[in-house]
Structure 1
Amino acid sequence: MSLRKSGLQREVLALYRRALTMVRSKPPETRPKFLLFVRYTFHTNASKVPPRNVSAIEHLLRKGKRQIEMYEDAAVKDCWVSGDMLAWEKAWKTSTG
């Protein structure tokens, strides 16, 4: 039996799905960078904000929506990936590996 999700949880999941859809709209050679950016951003924000801090989550949702709107623009073909993101990805892959 699955638990019902709150409205805020549904909004976060919808934003994540929208971000993944945005990744699929990018050129194939840059998709891994966009995917890493999305995964890293969601994971780090989720680990920094307590689930009961509704105002912080709402702020991150608004910020994320604006950011995804910017990246959804067809003129955006690439994104910057930091060293921290690459290190996180390497650690994440070895832990889930």
Structure 2
Amino acid sequence: MRRSGLQRDVLALYRRALRMVKTKPQSTQHKFLLFVRYTFHQNATSILPRDVSAIEHLLRKGTRQLEIYEDPGVKDCFVSRDMLDWHEQWRKASH
């Protein structure tokens, strides 16, 4: 399947975020992974695929945020109640 440049950029950012998760302490990797999955899912469902300017904006915002989380000094992240609830629903739907 051929992908547009924007699709490739989003996938590249997602892969980069998943690689960042592996650099974090084992005890907090699950929180970072949940944060990444939830954020990408929420953004993907909140905008239309043809809204290029919104996607570009989210790519820039996500890149800046990822650069902060890639810092070796960042060892933990905040996981909200919404993220945990979403994760529970996702787990139930996939089983």
TM-score normalised per structure 1 = 0.97
Q: Does 1:96 align with 2:91?
A: no
**Residues 2-53 of structure 1: per-residue CA shift (max 9 Å, x gap):** x200000000000000000000000000000000000000000000010000
Displacement over 6 Å in runs of 4+: none
RMSD, aligned α-carbons: 0.3
Q: Does 1:63 align with 2:61?
A: yes
Q: What is the letter of the counterpart of residue 50 of structure 1?
A: L
Q: What is the letter of the counterpart of residue 21 of structure 1?
A: R
Unmatched tracts of structure 2, length 5 or more: none
Identity %: 66
Aligned length: 95
